[in-house]
Amino acid sequence: MLNRSPAMNEEKVYQEKKIPEDTIIRLSYYLRALIYFLEENKKVVSSRQLAEFLKISHHQLRKDLSYFGHFGKKGVGYSSYELIDRIKEILGLNQQWNVCVVGFGNLGRALSSYKGFRDQGLCIKAAFDVDKNKQNKNYNGIKVYGLDKIQNVIKKENIRIAIITVPKENAKEISNQLYKTGIRAILNFAPVKLSLPQEVILKDVDFSCQLTYLTYRLKLSEKKNF
Amino acid sequence: MLNRSPAMNEEKVYQEKKIPEDTIIRLSYYLRALIYFLEENKKVVSSRQLAEFLKISHHQLRKDLSYFGHFGKKGVGYSSYELIDRIKEILGLNQQWNVCVVGFGNLGRALSSYKGFRDQGLCIKAAFDVDKNKQNKNYNGIKVYGLDKIQNVIKKENIRIAIITVPKENAKEISNQLYKTGIRAILNFAPVKLSLPQEVILKDVDFSCQLTYLTYRLKLSEKKNF
DNA sequence: TAGATTGTTAATCGATTAACAATC
DNA sequence: TAGATTGTTAATCGATTAACAATC
């Protein structure tokens, strides 16, 4: 690679192996399962039990965890409570993350009131929308601002993550604006490929694609049965 | 890939090579890009142009298409119009699919009014909710029914795909009910692992997981800068 | 101690990348 | 013909699966 920045070499110090994105996603599932087991008063769980519950292989679960350290006791299993803590630490969920939602249509509203976020340290601090009628109102404790307030509110509320739910025509411009205010992590629901510098962590969620995968598979299984 | 589904052996008879799920998802992106290019009056596109637009490699694009046939002209490229048609055919988007939404909260409403679906042949025909206040009303042309009407409406409207947006506590029961009425494809937004027979095509969408991936990466890049 | 279960290494599998012959 | 681009085969890369030694 040209122009390798010094930070690149140091990275190795912190992380020997590249960790698959799927592993990270599965970590969230492990966390959820562990919380469930703890609620059921299971204080120790084995990789087999967790894996069975989540319908994956126990090999994979142990392999995933092994990227990050040794969390279990051989012959015994994992302490639910401890492993929850460790996974939260790995995922960065032991701290609070302030989030904003840009675009306060149906989807923006849905995400703003989504219960699952808050107990993960994900805190939606503000929403933005062009529509004057929506502005300066509270919705489930979340205030809606005009787009011109993006810069100020993000700074003031120390927001690090943005969720884009604006129409696809406006998504690119909004994403650039967010970048300028210092946002480096975006969850994008607009069906467009955003053009942002590499340093931005970008995740696309695309409903149409997912539904279309279903139609593909349905069509396929029809062929099977003639 | 997460949660690879096992029904693969039988498919082999009808389909020589196993096709990666990611390839199918990318096909949706190719389709979208092609539609964009056609709107811009580009009647012929090369794999390089499409790939550049989507920020993937042209090798991958051609490889993906090669699973399904030969759609281009060597030395020339692809006819946008033709390739659109072929991809729609592959994905099953040349026919209408009737869909229902179970759970008419914010998210259910958001999906019901999502514009991107209809021009893909995805037609939301009905919604269901426990809340009596929501029932028997129209919302953007979509009627909301009580849960007791699931069986009847799905049959009557010839619905093949269900979207689950109920709270996690109710998702499993709803999914079983849907299975009993003949639904074999489900897009599940509830953060629980559903237990359904293998034949059911199931796709989970999990907002928390995706956001958490962002927190993980943000935390990681912070470490790098020391 | 015997049984159970972890953590890690090795083997397998599958997907992506690259190269190139075919051909428009 | 020369240049461009596809489609496919081969090479590489990476992730999953399996096996097993370590050890509670």
End residue of a domain, out of B38, B69, B90: B90
* In the predicted structure, residue A2 carries a pLDDT above the cut 70: no
Who wins on pLDDT, B162 or A12? B162
- Given an 8 Å threshold on Cβ–Cβ distance, is A92 in contact with B218? yes
**Is A124 near chain B, with CB under 8 Å?**
no
**Residue A62: predicted pLDDT:** 98
CA A101, distance to chain mean position in Å, is 14
Q: Which residues 71-100 of chain B have a CB within 8 Å of chain A?
A: 90-93, 97, 99
**Residue A226: predicted pLDDT:** 61
For residue A63, which of A33, A36, A27, A12 has the smallest C-alpha distance?
A: A27
Amino acid B220 reads L
* E strand or H helix at B24: helix B21-39
Query: What are the Cα distances from residue B142, in Å, to A86, A208, B124, B135, B138?
Result: 45, 18, 7, 11, 5
Amino acid A85 reads D
Amino acid B62 reads R
**Residue B17: predicted pLDDT:** 61
What's B93-114 look like in SS3? CCCCEEEEEECCCHHHHHHHCC
Termini Cα distance of chain A: 52
Q: Tell me: do A122 and A197 sit in the same domain.
A: yes
- CA separation for the pair A126, A142 (Å, rounded): 6
β-partners of residue B100 are B126, B162
A170 domain residue, yes or no: yes
Q: Tell me: do A120 and A150 sit in the same domain.
A: yes
**Residue B1: predicted pLDDT:** 43
**Is A131 near chain B, with CB under 8 Å?**
no
* In the predicted structure, residue A170 carries a pLDDT above the cut 70: yes
- Mean pLDDT for B113-135 is 94
Tokens linked to B30 = 């190719």
Ramachandran bin of A69, using left for φ above 0, alpha for ψ from -120 to 50, beta for the remaining angles: left
Q: Tell me: do A49 and A133 sit in the same domain.
A: no
- Residue A149: Cβ-neighbour burial (10 angstroms; 0-12, 13-18, 19+): middle
**Residue A14: predicted pLDDT:** 42
Q: Nearest nt (C1') to B45 (CA)? A: D5
* In the predicted structure, residue A143 carries a pLDDT above the cut 90: yes
Q: Tell me: do A105 and A166 sit in the same domain.
A: yes
Termini Cα distance of chain B: 33
* In the predicted structure, residue B5 carries a pLDDT above the cut 60: no
Q: Tell me: do B71 and B39 sit in the same domain.
A: yes
Task: Indicate the DSSP class of residue B199.
Answer: T
Residues in chain B within 8 Å Cβ distance of A97 = 215, 218
Q: Tell me: do B105 and B135 sit in the same domain.
A: yes
pLDDT for B36-82, tens place per residue?
A: 999 999 999 999 999 999 999 999 999 999 999 999 999 999 999 99
pLDDT range class, residue B224, cuts 50, 70, 90? confident
β-partners of residue A187 are A163, A203
* In the predicted structure, residue B3 carries a pLDDT above the cut 80: no
In this complex, the residue with its CA at the shortest distance from the C1' of nucleotide D19 is: A59
Query: What are the Cα distances from residue B144, in Å, to A109, A139, A167, B137, B176?
Result: 20, 24, 25, 6, 20
| Average pLDDT of chain A, as a whole number | 91
Domain of residue A159: give its range: 97-209
Q: Tell me: do B84 and B165 sit in the same domain.
A: no
Please give the tally of structural domains in chain A. 2
**Residue B226: predicted pLDDT:** 64
Amino acid A142 reads I
pLDDT for B10-24, tens place per residue?
A: 333 344 568 999 999
**Is B184 near chain A, with CB under 8 Å?**
yes
- Given an 8 Å threshold on Cβ–Cβ distance, is A217 in contact with B93? no
**Is A158 near chain B, with CB under 8 Å?**
no
pLDDT range class, residue A6, cuts 50, 70, 90? very low
Residues in chain B within 8 Å Cβ distance of A208 = 28, 116-117, 120, 122
* In the predicted structure, residue B7 carries a pLDDT above the cut 80: no
Least confident of A106-120, A150-164, B41-55: A106-120
Ramachandran bin of B163, using left for φ above 0, alpha for ψ from -120 to 50, beta for the remaining angles: beta
Q: Tell me: do A119 and A200 sit in the same domain.
A: yes
| Average pLDDT of chain B, as a whole number | 91
Task: Indicate the DSSP class of residue A73.
Answer: B
**Residue B61: predicted pLDDT:** 98
Interface mutation target, options B158, B161, B207, chain A, most CBs of A under 10 Å: B207
**Residue A5: predicted pLDDT:** 28
- Mean pLDDT for B140-149 is 96
Q: For residue B124, which phi and psi values (nearest 5 degrees)?
A: -80, 115
pLDDT range class, residue A118, cuts 50, 70, 90? confident
Yes or no: say if A215 and B91 are a contact pair by the CB < 8 Å rule. Answer: yes
Q: What is the dihedral of CA A42, A43, A44, A49, to 10 degrees?
A: 30
Q: Tell me: do A133 and A159 sit in the same domain.
A: yes
CATH of the domain at A67: 1.10.10.10
* E strand or H helix at A141: none
* E strand or H helix at B44: strand B44-45
Tokens linked to B132 = 């009596």
- CA separation for the pair B11, B71 (Å, rounded): 23
Q: Tell me: do A107 and A200 sit in the same domain.
A: yes
Tokens linked to B113 = 């009014």
Beta strands in chain A (DSSP E): 44-45, 78-79, 97-102, 122-128, 138-139, 142-145, 161-164, 185-188, 201-204
A2 domain residue, yes or no: no
Residues in chain B within 8 Å Cβ distance of A212 = 24, 28, 91-93, 120, 122
pLDDT for A54-80, tens place per residue?
A: 999 999 999 999 999 999 999 999 999
- CA separation for the pair A30, B193 (Å, rounded): 12
**Residue A11: predicted pLDDT:** 33
B141 domain residue, yes or no: yes
Q: Tell me: do B58 and B122 sit in the same domain.
A: no
A220 domain residue, yes or no: no
B216 domain residue, yes or no: no
b/e for B118-144, b at 16 or more Cβ within 10 A?
A: eebbbebbbbbbbeeebbeeeeeebbb
A8 domain residue, yes or no: no
Least confident of A15-19, A84-88, A111-115, A202-206: A15-19
User: In angstroms, how far is C3 C1' from A75 CA?
Assistant: 8
Query: What are the Cα distances from residue A158, in Å, to A32, A107, B117, B222?
Result: 27, 23, 36, 15
pLDDT for B79-122, tens place per residue?
A: 999 999 999 999 999 999 999 999 999 999 999 998 889 889 99
- Residue B151: Cβ-neighbour burial (10 angstroms; 0-12, 13-18, 19+): middle
**Is A13 near chain B, with CB under 8 Å?**
no
End residue of a domain, out of B55, B73, B90: B90
Q: Nearest nt (C1') to B46 (CA)? A: D5
β-partners of residue B143 are B138
User: In angstroms, how far is C23 C1' from B65 CA?
Assistant: 18
CB atoms within 10 A of CB B214: 24
Residue carrying structure tokens 């958001």: B110
**Residue B169: predicted pLDDT:** 95
pLDDT range class, residue A18, cuts 50, 70, 90? confident
pLDDT for B170-212, tens place per residue?
A: 999 999 999 999 999 999 999 999 999 999 999 999 999 999 9
Kindly determine whether the C-beta of residue B59 is less than 7 Å away from any atom of nucleic acid strand D: yes
Residue of B nearest to A106 (CA): B110
In this complex, the residue with its CA at the shortest distance from the C1' of nucleotide C2 is: A75
